[in-house]
Amino acid sequence: VRTYVVVVRTYVRTYVRTYVRTYVVRTYVRTYRTVPYVRTYVRTYVRTYVTYVRRTLRYVTLRYVTLRYVTYVRTYVRTYVRTYVRTYVRTYVRTYVRTYVRTYVRYVRTYVRTYVRTYVTYVRTYVRTYVRTYVRTYVRTYVRTYVRTYVRTYVRTYVRTYVRYGTVRYGTVRTYVRRLLLLLLLLLLLLLLLLLLLRTYYVRTTTTTIYIYNK
């Protein structure tokens, strides 16, 4: 194993922005004119009374009827006066608060490279994380209050891995020396075989000559 290389790079950026705006207080006053309301009632009340008269004398009763009519007339006059005064007061207070928080995380790269004698392994691993965070707060204050909050989060992750294999030939002094030693061993073995063959042949020839001489 020759080299190991590890590189880690992280890029983080954070933005925080706050935007506040307040409008001047506005007061709206409206007054209507005085409107008098006059109403007059006239009522006439008529009532008539009828009376009966009875007179008695001594020993004689005289009955006669006299009618008396009495009429009463009454008149009522009533006057109503109403006055309306209307006043409208409106106050506007507007406050805008906006907060931006943005966080960027980019580029997390890890390189691992391993070199062996005959095989090369090349590995690349990409891990990319992309984070966006939006926080928006929108506040309006009148007599009414509106609050809107937007939270958006985007997370993207990329993981890529590349693996490549290849063969690499290295020529070093050690390999050459080993090859020479192997060749020398082979030559020695061949010589030994030749010597054995020659010895066997020599022994056979000597035995045959001795056998002939004895005869």
**pLDDT tens sequence across 113-122:** 555 555 445 5
Chain segment 49-83, per-residue pLDDT in tens: 655 555 555 555 555 555 555 566 667 677 767 76
Q: What is the pLDDT of residue 107?
A: 58
Exposure string (b/e) for 64-101, b if CB count within 10 Å is 16 or more? eeeeeeeeeeeeeeeeeeeeeeeeeeeeeeeeebeeee
CA distance 110 to 160: 11
Distance CA(22)–CA(120), nearest Å, equals 66
- Mean pLDDT over 82-98 rounds to 69
String of DSSP letters for 14-73: EEEEEEEEEPPPEEEEEEPPPEEEEEEEEEEEEEEEEE---EE-SS-EE-----EEEEEE
Q: Most distant CA pair in the chain: distance in Å?
A: 234
Across the chain, the runs of DSSP E, i.e. the strands, are 4-5, 8-22, 26-31, 35-51, 55-56, 61-62, 68-84, 87-92, 95-115, 119-141, 145-167
pLDDT digits (tens, 9 = 90+) for 8-37: 566 667 777 777 777 665 676 676 655 566
Q: Return phi, psi of residue 25, to 5°.
A: -65, 125
Measured between alpha carbons, how far is 174 from 14 in angstroms, rounded to an integer?
57
Nearest Cα residue to 103 out of 17, 13, 18: 13
Task: Tell me: pLDDT of 110 over 60.
Answer: no
d(CA 72, CA 49): 9
DSSP secondary-structure letter at 117? S
| pLDDT reading at 103 higher than 80 | no
Close Cβ partners of 103 (under 8 Å, ≥ 6 residues apart): 12, 13, 14, 15, 131, 132, 133
Contact (CB, 8 A) for 124 and 159: no
- Output the pLDDT for position 169: 47
Query: What are the residues facing 154 on neighbouring strands?
Result: 132
